[in-house]
Amino acid sequence: MPETVLVTGGAGFIGSHTCVELLDHGHEVVVVDDFSNSSPGAVDAVMKLAGRPLTLHHADLRDRAALDAVFVDHDINAVIHFAAKKAVGESVRIPLDYFDINIGGTTALLRTMNDHGVHRLVFSSSCSIYGDTSKVPLDEDDPAGPTNPYARTKYICEQLLGDACVRYPEMSVIALRYFNPIGAHPSGMLGEDPTGVPNNVLPYMAQVAVGRLDELPVFGNDYPTPDGTCIRDYIHVVDVADGHRVALDHLDDEPGLRVFNLGAGRGASVLELIAEFGRAVGRPIPYRMEGRRSGDVPMLIADPGRVERAWGWRTTRDLTAMCEDAWRFQRLNPSGYPAT
Ligand code: UD1
């Protein structure tokens, strides 16, 4: 059934790809974004790709009056909540911003949803809540142990959502714990375009490949992994977007909070990722070894079994596709989205 879906943070990396999926599947999309780490150019690209418009509201979720007006203007059936800050290192430096924006934004959204009788929510969570664990792979019943403020805000939001579901049994919430989303839309029109120097490894190396940055710092080569660099479960952003679209279809399966990993169930080290991206680019990516980054853990790999058992859903795009698609976007948009 077509729905009217509010997508917070819909101009961001995962949000914009999810908007394309939703529009392609007949849903109406309303985006709220404050463009603090995204660009209106992404929204233009979404509409061009989908061949259909969405409605855009430039607002901060904590602006209760602005958010209320969005719910008054549109008959929202469900919400997908991405809007948040997401840099691990930055969260150690400015934790209060993370508490305020990630937790404050989520509670403001919940309150407004409640005021307007909207009870269906897909929440953007993170594998980082598992913290420093040596267990491989990780399933949803493994204990949480956030090692940085960013991860803690995601875990606290999951707990708040669980408490809200107990108080309001009509609520249905799905938290998707993504592992490491990278890649881009295969058209090359939509991708990752962070503001300032990238925090995450793939956009950093993509900017090295187009000459905007000199070389990739590799944070640590003395981890207990085969080549000494950290291992992550990279997942194509279009798979992540598809996972949200499918989650929406399953919101009514049962009430309460449900949690699912979104990952491929396979890991790649930083050096393996550099090699794969170099193959996509057609030349090696310059890098230098640096010390460990605070808050990093050696290895995080998903057990993707729960979501497959529940919905028959699994990832379909491999590391080669992730690198080729990310490179296509960066090559076609060397300076990111055009300023609008
Ligand atoms: C972190 C979170 C993840 C979250 C993501 C959002 C953890 C464990 N994971 O992912 O849940 O979704 O942020 O931003 O907190 N690296 C380099 N050089 C760089 C950048 C990164 O070597 O310039 C390495 C990192 O040490 C890490 C890997 O690349 O081993 C991936 O890093 P990154 O892309 O920043 O993601 P995570 O920190 O794994």
Q: Which domains does the chain have, with CATH numbers?
A: 4-332 (3.40.50.720)
Residue 328 has pLDDT above 80, yes or no: yes
pLDDT the model gives residue 296: 84
pLDDT the model gives residue 338: 79
Question: In this structure, what DSSP letter does residue 37 have?
Answer: S
Considering the chain, what is the average pLDDT of its residues?
A: 96
Between the CA of residue 224 and those of 134, 228, 230, 299, what are the distances in Å? 10, 6, 8, 9
Residue 6 pLDDT class (50, 70, 90 cuts): very high
Which residue lies with its CA nearest to atom 31 of ligand 1? 201
pLDDT the model gives residue 47: 98
Which of the residues are catalytic?
150
pLDDT the model gives residue 225: 96
Residue 64 pLDDT class (50, 70, 90 cuts): very high
Percent of the chain at pLDDT > 70 equals 100
Q: Quick check: 70 and 81 in contact, CB under 8 A?
A: no
Residue 256 pLDDT class (50, 70, 90 cuts): very high
Mutate to test the pocket of ligand 1, among 14, 179, 219, 297 (most ligand atoms within 8 A of CB): 219
pLDDT the model gives residue 39: 92
Cβ neighbours of 309 (radius 10 Å): 9
Give the 3-state secondary structure percentages of the chain, helix then strand then coil, rounded to 5: 40, 20, 40
In the three-class reduction of DSSP (H, G, I as helix; E, B as strand; rest coil), residue 175 is classed as strand
pLDDT, tens digit, for every residue of 27-48?
Answer: 999 999 999 999 999 999 999 9
pLDDT the model gives residue 170: 97
Residue 249 has pLDDT above 80, yes or no: yes
Q: How far apart (Å, rounded) are the C-alpha atoms in residues 79 and 173? A: 10
pLDDT the model gives residue 130: 94
160: part of which helix (H) or strand (E)? helix 149-167
Q: Quick check: 233 and 273 in contact, CB under 8 A?
A: no
| Ligand 1 binding pocket includes 219 (Cβ within 6 Å) | yes
| Ligand 1 binding pocket includes 133 (Cβ within 6 Å) | no
pLDDT, tens digit, for every residue of 296-314?
Answer: 889 999 999 999 999 999 9
Residue 52 pLDDT class (50, 70, 90 cuts): very high
Which residue lies with its CA nearest to atom 3 of ligand 1? 128
77 CA distance to ligand 1 centroid (A)?
Answer: 34
pTM of the predicted protein model: 0.97
What's the average model confidence in pLDDT over 240-261? 98
pLDDT the model gives residue 115: 98
Strands (E), the chain: 4-8, 28-33, 55-58, 78-81, 120-126, 172-178, 180-182, 216-219, 231-232, 234-236, 256-262, 268-269, 287-290, 299-300
In the three-class reduction of DSSP (H, G, I as helix; E, B as strand; rest coil), residue 334 is classed as coil
Residue 1 has pLDDT above 90, yes or no: no
pLDDT the model gives residue 297: 86
Residue 340 has pLDDT above 80, yes or no: no
Residue 59 has pLDDT above 70, yes or no: yes
Residue 134 has pLDDT above 90, yes or no: no
pLDDT, tens digit, for every residue of 168-190?
Answer: 999 999 999 999 999 999 999 99
137 cis-preceded (ω within 30 degrees of 0): yes
- What single letter denotes the amino acid at residue 21? E
Residue 120 pLDDT class (50, 70, 90 cuts): very high
335 CA distance to ligand 1 centroid (A)?
Answer: 22
Torsion-angle region of 226 (φ positive above 0: left; ψ -120 to 50: alpha; else: beta): alpha
Which residue lies with its CA nearest to atom 35 of ligand 1? 200
- What single letter denotes the amino acid at residue 219? F
Of 293, 329, 76, which Cα lies nearest the Cα of 184?
329
Ligand 1 atom nearest to CA at 151: 15
Residue 17 has pLDDT above 70, yes or no: yes
pLDDT the model gives residue 267: 97
Residue 295 pLDDT class (50, 70, 90 cuts): confident
